Structure 1
Amino acid sequence: MKTLIAAASVAAALVVPATASFAQDVPDAVKARQGQFRIMAINLGILGEMARGNTEYDAEAAQNAADTLVAISGVHQPPLWPEGTDTMSIDGTRAEPGIWENLDDVLSKWSDFGDAAAQLQTVAADGQQALGPALGQVGNACKACHDTYRAPE
């Protein structure tokens, strides 16, 4: 048993530095933009589960999630998208190189997301039935950018 614990400790010690090393290779701008997308995904998940009836509708939680999406939409994007942070340049991103050829289009699509999030924010506390259509508009805004500018997994 002591040998097993010692072996596990050694394995963990070897894995952690490798993971930390990879994380350090990803530029801070990429970490920041991926972080904002994770926050979006969490909050869209909360709203989606309520809209589908998989979790009980909670007006306060729905409003908080929608408010968070609007807050994220207000993050100034250009610093998060420096050239050289695409799939062809670094590992750890799904950003297609076409983003930098069409950054104005990407930023326009981000603005569309913000508009859809703001519409969702106005109805989030109005009940489960109000979530679906507004959430669909947010999803369409996300899809419009992802279809062109995000690499598949």
Structure 2
Amino acid sequence: MRAILATTAAAIVLTATSFAPAQANEAAIKARQSLMQLYAFNLGQLGAMAKGTTDYNAEAAQAAADNLLAAASMNQMAMWPEGTDNEAMAGKTAALPAIWTTYPAIAEKGKALVDAATTMAGVAGTDLASLQGAMGAVGGSCGGCHKTFRASDN
């Protein structure tokens, strides 16, 4: 009887721990997708002001730029474990496997976003022209990563 209980307990532990990596990977994907939503939310506010679809508001622009910088400056290492690409986790992410094979190129793309967000945070609350001037670098840094390391939606 003890042998059966021990075998059953071992099977339960092995089964439970075999799901842990998959759950951790799904949590990492959700975390980085949430981070991208924060980027998009704050960039949406800045972009609307830059395009003139929303009136320029220095306080709101500064808050959005500061939020963008805070999000871009986060340590994201835990959000990007190897094996969380669109091939290994089909249907859950658009991240291409190249992210994990092109270091330090991916790190350079991340640094470009932090640099552009730093510039944006330095000028967003100044005036509309300064905000508009900083938008290109922010958008370029987003596109620089997405064009290379994200599967197309098409």
Q: TM-score range by the shorter chain?
A: 0.7 to 0.9
Q: Provide TM-score, normalisation by structure 1.
A: 0.81
Residues 124-133 or 39-48, more deviating: 124-133
Structure 1 equivalent of residue 66 of structure 2 = 67
Structure 2 equivalent of residue 96 of structure 1 = 96
Structure 2 equivalent of residue 152 of structure 1 = 152
Structure 1 equivalent of residue 137 of structure 2 = 137
Deviations along 1:6-55, one digit per CA (max 9) or x if unpaired, are xxxxxxxxxxxxxxxxxx79611111111110000000000000011100
**Aligned partners of 2:114 and 2:24: how far apart in 1?**
30
Q: Provide TM-score, normalisation by structure 2.
A: 0.80
> 3-state SS of the aligned residue for 1:144?
helix
Structure 1 equivalent of residue 111 of structure 2 = 111
**8 Å contact 1:77–1:107 — kept in the other structure?**
no
**8 Å contact 2:43–2:64 — kept in the other structure?**
yes
**Structure 2: tracts of 5 or more residues without a match:** 1-22
Deviations along 1:89-108, one digit per CA (max 9) or x if unpaired, are 11210100100101321122
> 3-state SS of the aligned residue for 1:95?
coil
**Aligned partners of 2:96 and 2:133: how far apart in 1?**
29
> 3-state SS of the aligned residue for 1:27?
helix
Look up the equivalent residue of 1:28 and give its one-letter code: A
**Aligned partners of 1:99 and 1:25: how far apart in 2?**
18
| Aligned ranges 1:3-152 → 2 under 5 Å | 27-90=26-89, 91-152=91-152
Bigger Rg, which one = 2
**Aligned partners of 2:30 and 2:107: how far apart in 1?**
18
Percent sequence identity is: 43
Shift of 1:126: 1.2
Shift of 1:129: 1.4
The size of the alignment, in residue pairs, is 130
Deviations along 1:47-100, one digit per CA (max 9) or x if unpaired, are 000011100111110000000011011111221110111010112101001001
Return structure 1 stretches of 4+ with deviation > 4 angstroms: none
**Structure 1: tracts of 5 or more residues without a match:** 1-23
